[in-house]
Amino acid sequence: MGLTPDLLGAGWLWLMDAVLLGVLALAAWSADWDQLAVERLYQHTVFASVILLVLLWLVRAGLSPGLSIHVLGLTAVTLALGWAFAMLAGVAALAVMALIGHEPWSAIGLDGVVTVVLPVIVTYGIVLWERRCGFRLFFAYLFFCGYFGAAIAAAVSGTVMVGILGLADVYDWHVLYTEYLRYMPLLVIPEAFVNGVVVASLMVFHPQRLVTLEESRYL
């Protein structure tokens, strides 16, 4: 999100660090490490997700610190890996970003909650909703979980970031609207397109890479 170390108070940063650590602990406990250990294809998907997220996050735009716009890509990663490894891969990508100097270590907790935890939770929630509805059309997974899921995840992530910056009095609400909220379509539409195209490609050529796809339900 392009945060700087002095943008938010220590209280906010420590709170987000605690939230992120708690989520990471839950993800590490819930992750299927046996599957990762024995399935080479799954290993490649996990490591490729980290690399692709880093490359994706290097491309960003924005006027003020903390208000940068970039494609998150976590919806496709969540659909491919499941929520637990998506959390771990996203935070690993953030750590790489910090190592190469594109994100401050002090703000990694806030970045992790906003750009990783929230999109993964929203995406996986939509996956569970789609399963509960019991759709039999193959494209229901693609459009609801891929395209719409990515758009909703990006909107939630951006809105929460704006809310935090507003509540912490970092920026005036008018500035937040003029520099970020009114450009939300520029975040939501590309997010839906990029994630949707990736998910569609995997569904056609490598459906086995989407661990959240229940192929038998659509056949």
pLDDT per residue as tens digits for the range 155-177: 999 899 888 888 887 788 888 88
Cα separation values, 86 from 20, 75, 76, 181, Å: 13, 9, 9, 27
Continuous H helices in 100-183: 108-112, 118-133, 138-140, 149-167, 173-179
Has residue 113 been placed in a domain? yes
Has residue 4 been placed in a domain? no
φ and ψ at residue 94, rounded to 5 degrees: -60, -40
Residues of the chain with pLDDT under 50: none
Has residue 160 been placed in a domain? yes
Has residue 104 been placed in a domain? yes
Q: Please report the pLDDT score of residue 61 as a whole number.
A: 65
Has residue 202 been placed in a domain? yes
How many domains does the chain contain in total? 1
> What is the domain-level CATH number for residue 207?
1.10.1760.20
CB atoms within 10 A of CB 177: 15
Has residue 207 been placed in a domain? yes
Provide the domain limits for residue 181: 10-218
The pTM of this model reads 0.92
Q: Please report the pLDDT score of residue 2 as a whole number.
A: 56
Q: Please report the pLDDT score of residue 187 as a whole number.
A: 82
Has residue 35 been placed in a domain? yes
Has residue 2 been placed in a domain? no
pLDDT digits (tens, 9 = 90+) for 7-32: 677 788 899 999 999 999 999 999 99
